[in-house]
Amino acid sequence: MPRPKRISRPVMLQPPPEPASTGPLTGQAEDYLKAIYELEQRGAAAGTNDIAARLGIAAASVTGMVQRLHRLGLVRAERYRGARLTQGGRAAALQLIRRHRIIECYLVERLGFGWDDVHDEAERLEHAASDDLIARMADAIGNPTEDPHGAPIPTAAGEVDETRLPSIADLNDGESATVVRMSDRDPTFLRYLDELGVRPGATVQVVARAPFDGPITVRVGAVEHVVGTTAAEQVFVRPEA
């Protein structure tokens, strides 16, 4: 009796699964988590191009890291839909943001840095600082709840005020508001705001706006200034009742 033929089937080799945790995250991975968190605050998932622009890198570099963070259980990534943080990814992002903002406060309050000089310094230091060092720095300056630019500082337990605020550009003509916070990424922009007297706690009023997304005239104290729409969109306020 002839022996049956053996059918050869291709062997599908699968890469070994990556462990759920690889110990402390690299600074690059932390930067991705923080960028995704900040982009998610706009109300939508973080797209590849948005992440690349936020980090100042090529979009082609983003996919591999997002996939790695996905395998680590820190990000949920869907093709064509963008990335969102998991609970673990959110906790890691908020821890980094806490370190960054406390370092900024410490540099301003104890070392005499200007509010326009601390962002890049904090970016360099935030990955190296331990939780114990951050706790001691926070204690030394009275455990602030906001950074020098008005952004809320997450607690050690990962709690943070995520209230979405309107910007000056969202105010109606004649409407007044209190400045709460502003983007801190560009020192030149912060120096510009300082010259206008626009800091957290200042009162601003929209006097008029030019048509077709033209500049906006705002009153800060007793002085009127004309600011561009792009600048107005980066200053977040709490409208007066």
- Low-confidence residues of the chain: pLDDT under 70: 1-23
Could you tell me the two tokens for 168? 């000056």
Average pLDDT taken over every residue of the chain:
90
For residue 67, the Cα-to-chain-centroid distance in whole angstroms is 20
- Same-domain pairing of 63 and 108: no
pLDDT of residue 79: 80
Last residue in a domain, options 121, 138, 161:
161
Reported as a single tens digit per residue, the pLDDT across 205-231 is 999 999 988 999 999 999 999 999 999
Q: Are residues 147 and 173 in the same domain?
A: no
Q: Is 38 exposed, middle or buried (0-12, 13-18, 19+ CB in 10 A)?
A: middle
Place of tokens 């982009």: 39
204 belongs to a structural domain: yes
Calculate the dihedral angle through the C-alpha atoms of 147, 34, 131, 86, rounding to the nearest 10 degrees: 130
Residues 6 or more apart whose CB falls under 8 angstroms from that of 25 comprise: 33, 92
Give the closest residue to 168 by CA, choosing from 238, 232, 239.
Answer: 232
Q: Are residues 234 and 206 in the same domain?
A: yes
The count of domains in the chain is 3
Q: Last residue of a domain, which of 29, 56, 85?
A: 85
Structural domain harbouring 104: 95-161
pTM across the whole model: 0.86
Residue 12 placed within a domain = no
CATH of the domain at 153: 1.10.10.10
pLDDT value of position 3: 52
Last residue of a domain, one of 118, 140, 161: 161
Query: Do 130 and 146 fall within a single domain?
Result: yes
CATH number reported for the structural domain that contains residue 184 in this entry: 2.30.30.90
Residues 180 and 156 in one domain: no
pLDDT of amino acid 230: 95
